[in-house]
Structure 1
């Protein structure tokens, strides 16, 4: 049915008939569906005042009301074409080269109340309310809450640099969001007997690589992903050296291994399918085995170790063991690849390079399963 202000078209639906009202305005077609023809006509009549002005050339009250209808439709269209947070997380997961991207993605996917929201509509209040919910639901400490906030901030910083997102002029919702008070932190250290028990449990794991991975972590004090994402191209089996590149402190790091560790790596390489990764995914050699949490939890439980023990605590363990064995903070700093002794002193970390790893008395680690 043609009307001066637009077009009304009956549409058959499951529960009867609805009426589509359409109007062309500045070259753009606007439409809305109504239950009755009268409602559709009333909508078109309201839009008929678009562009109307008073004697002074100013928009009339009805013209302003009509423009609000158009603006709301435009905004809805923009929302429908703007990527959601979930879509942005998936893009971040597939394209980001951040070492911590895998952990960030896990944390970001817990913002359930925001996943379907257009990313350019997420404001500070939206973020804080959802972060409050996550903290309460998961019983998180303020320190852990800060890690979630950091993950969200990293996503928005990454999006801001992405060429496809510059048009949205995104504002990072974490800016000016207060951070929780960081606790002193609870660092666990395993005794030598506990380290042996853990390695024995790892040997019994359904994933054969868990033993060697944990052994190297305890031996070198390296960070989790520095070993889990190690490539064969960065392993010199003839000289027994691991080359850890792009480490957390920004520098490359070379680790001299004792002969036994080199022998284990040689045996492991022979036993595995061809892959670029030292620790390849069990079902896909093209991927690194970065997520071994299930196997870690079972081994930890089998070794009767604290439930709160993290893989990162193996780094603390290396440091504490070296301290007990008489190594200096400077030597431990070199082992942990820290930039300063202050960091070493604060966290008692240990990441080994040069001769500090090769010269350690680590025979006790070989007792597992012996």
Structure 2
């Protein structure tokens, strides 16, 4: 029930004090200069309390985005495999919109921030704006925080991110090594002064594993008898097993004989054995020596997938090899296996019209 009390101040002005009392709920009150607004507030508040919406709205007004991000970093990031890479993105949001309460964090406000972000210079290429994929990563980082605010903390009733469109991403890059490039690059890696480079590149090239999956691998994940590398926690959260081809398996067997005892990592850093080795410099030198241009480490994965497609792997098989839950991510390789798809089309046609002249 709502009660409205008319009040007159010393200067003669009138106000209306509203109190909403519902059994089992704390009393809610507010003052208005207009009786109409007082009645509207009373009706809306009473309905919101009965439907369980009011106190979530109140929580949204009580907490800022900066508080939500700090809680997310404290409670959620430690359990996320890529948590540390997400932290700088969260700090950007905290600095940009952290002063706003969650109630003030509307879809238009987020959209404006993302549009501004898209115009900022890229960290890697200051002469270019940020890539759509980078903007998408920032959007996802904030979406994760707001999702927790809704589901786990009940600081929000609905995430405003539901009304923020995802950036339109360009078609996925498919850069893979030609046979000649592959031979030159592997030779340059073999001749590198860094003993880890050749093994690491060959492992990535022959398994299609992501950089974090192969460079962060431990000996506990390796089964030399079964020739497998077991991935317990991948990007999409599913377990996956990588097959170790004979050349890689032989190199790992040799490496196992002289492995370090102060770390379980396959490729430990000499500076900090608890961290994987940093191969950026030797990798860059090997690319230069081999004369391979416009090629990134992740393109080793593209090379594996492209070679699999050109050797007859179907899209479901590619998805299984690469650890994708859907076929959409491997559609980019479909055009690389025309012979395989042509053979299927011929078999289907033969079944339908094979006996006709």
In the TM superposition, residue 126 of structure 1 has moved relative to its aligned partner by: 3.6
Question: Hey, what's the Cα distance between the residues in 2 that align with 1:88 and 1:202?
Answer: 44
1:279 aligns with 2:233: no
**Which of the numbers 96, 99, 106 marks the counterpart of 1:117?**
99
Give 1:142's aligned residue: 132
In the TM superposition, residue 175 of structure 1 has moved relative to its aligned partner by: 2.3
Question: Hey, what's the Cα distance between the residues in 2 that align with 1:81 and 1:327?
Answer: 50
1:314 aligns with 2:304: no
> In structure 2, the residue corresponding to 1:174 is in which secondary structure?
helix
In the TM superposition, residue 318 of structure 1 has moved relative to its aligned partner by: 0.8
In the TM superposition, residue 343 of structure 1 has moved relative to its aligned partner by: 4.9
Give 1:104's aligned residue: 86
When residues 131 and 337 of structure 1 are mapped into structure 2, their CA distance, relative to the original with a 3 A threshold, is: closer
Deviations 1:167-210 (A, max 9, x none): 63375442211223232233211113323333445456676433
1:180-191 alignment, distance < 5 Å: 180-191=167-178
Q: Is the 8 A contact 2:132 2:167 kept in 1?
A: yes
Q: Is the 8 A contact 1:89 1:108 kept in 2?
A: no
Question: Hey, what's the Cα distance between the residues in 1 that align with 2:93 and 2:192?
Answer: 33
Q: Is the 8 A contact 1:189 1:313 kept in 2?
A: yes
Give 2:231's aligned residue: 244
Q: Is the 8 A contact 1:93 1:102 kept in 2?
A: no
In the TM superposition, residue 105 of structure 1 has moved relative to its aligned partner by: 3.0
1:1-370 alignment, distance < 5 Å: 53-54=7-8, 58=16, 83=67, 85=69, 87-88=70-71, 90-91=73-74, 94-97=77-80, 99-111=81-93, 113-114=95-96, 117=99, 120=102, 122-137=105-120, 138=122, 139-158=129-148, 160=150, 166=153, 168-169=155-156, 172-202=159-189, 208-248=195-235, 250-269=237-256, 270-288=258-276, 296-297=283-284, 299-307=286-294, 309-324=295-310, 326-329=311-314, 332-339=318-325, 343-347=329-333
TM-score if structure 1 supplies the norm length? 0.60
When residues 124 and 334 of structure 1 are mapped into structure 2, their CA distance, relative to the original with a 3 A threshold, is: closer
In the TM superposition, residue 117 of structure 1 has moved relative to its aligned partner by: 3.2
Q: Is the 8 A contact 1:84 1:118 kept in 2?
A: no
Question: Hey, what's the Cα distance between the residues in 2 that align with 1:278 and 1:225?
Answer: 12
Question: Hey, what's the Cα distance between the residues in 2 that align with 1:173 and 1:206?
Answer: 52
TM-score if structure 2 supplies the norm length? 0.61
When residues 207 and 84 of structure 1 are mapped into structure 2, their CA distance, relative to the original with a 3 A threshold, is: farther
Deviations 1:202-233 (A, max 9, x none): 45667643332221110111222221232221
What are structure 2's unaligned runs of at least 5 residues? 18-30, 34-58, 123-128, 337-357
Question: Hey, what's the Cα distance between the residues in 2 that align with 1:245 and 1:224?
Answer: 15
Question: Hey, what's the Cα distance between the residues in 1 that align with 2:65 and 2:113?
Answer: 23
Deviations 1:237-267 (A, max 9, x none): 2332211223345543333323321222233
Question: Hey, what's the Cα distance between the residues in 2 that align with 1:280 and 1:306?
Answer: 28
Question: Hey, what's the Cα distance between the residues in 2 that align with 1:239 and 1:340?
Answer: 28
Q: How many pairs align?
A: 281
In the TM superposition, residue 132 of structure 1 has moved relative to its aligned partner by: 1.8
| Worse-superposed segment, 251-260 or 131-140 | 251-260
> In structure 1, the residue corresponding to 2:203 is in which secondary structure?
helix
